Structure 1
Amino acid sequence: MTLDQLRIFVAVAERGHMTKAAELLGISQSAASAAIRSLEQQHGVQLFNRVGRNIELAQTGRRFLPEAKAVLERAAAAHNVLEHVSQTITGSLSIAASQTIASYWLPRRLASFHEAYPAVRLSVTIGNTRQVETTVLDGTADFGLVEGRTDSDILRRAKVDVDRLMLVVAPSHPEIAEVSRGHPDISELRWIIREGGS
Structure 2
Amino acid sequence: MNLFQLRAFDAVAREGSFTRAAERLFISQPAVTGHVKALEDHYQITLLRRTARRVELTEEGTRLAAITRAMFGLAEEARAMLEANRQLLTGRLEVAADGPHRVMPMLASLRARYPGVTVNLRLGNAQETLAALTAEHVDVAVMTEVEPRKGLHLHPLSASHICALVPAAHPWAGHTLDLAQLHQQIMVLREPHSITRRTFDQACAQAGVVPRVLLELDSREAVTEAVAAQLGIGIVSSVEVGHDPRVVAVPLRGQGLENRHMIGCLERRRELRLIRAFFELAPPV
* TM-score scaled by length of structure 2: 0.31
Structure having the larger proportion of residues in strand: 2
* Higher RCO (C-alpha 8 Å, min separation 6): 2
* TM-score scaled by length of structure 1: 0.43
